[in-house]
Amino acid sequence: MMELEKEKTVRHFVTYALLASLLLMLSGCGEKEVGREKERFAPTDAAVLLFAESTVPPSCLVFSHLLITIPTRLSEQSISSRITAYGKQEGADYVLIGMSRQSDRNPDSILFNDYGPDTVYDFGADWAGWNFGFDEWYGQGPLVGFEPDQLNADEPAFATTVMTQAALLRCQPE
């Protein structure tokens, strides 16, 4: 009788293991959504930095959410020129700057980490705020002021590495 119970238990285990394996294999058989390629825009001649959501023109589309990591040694002018150069290269008319906070990273140069979106959307109708990159954003230090008047001098802008939220905006008709 004891042997019969053991055999029954082994059969149940084998049956469940086979079913679990079958489910895992079948889960990969359906049609998979292929990751969409990010929409690309032609480079622009100018990308203007904006520091307030209220200054974004109503016709703008959001096509990139960014966390920008800025090393301490960069001058104010260098930060401005590198962010606008990146925006122009990506096809932005405007780069909207959000909040900034101290970062525990120590990059050699400015870093642009893109967080989507999967599809371009209308800023005026669909902007939901700075709802991206939380995995990186919340692990950083205290908030740091980053204002337009910090972009003119040849002095370092920050005493520490800073992570800044940004969004790339396209406002030209295609």
Instruction: Report whether 66 contacts 115 (CB < 8 A).
Output: yes
pLDDT: which is higher, 30 or 84 = 84
Interatomic CA distance for residues 112 and 90, integer angstroms: 11
- pLDDT per position as a tens digit, 67-117: 999 999 888 899 999 999 999 999 999 999 999 999 999 898 999 999 999
Percent of the chain with pLDDT over 70: 76
- pLDDT per position as a tens digit, 4-16: 555 555 454 444 4
Interatomic CA distance for residues 114 and 63, integer angstroms: 10
**Model pTM?**
0.76
Q: pLDDT at position 143, please?
A: 94
Domain boundaries, the chain: 48-170
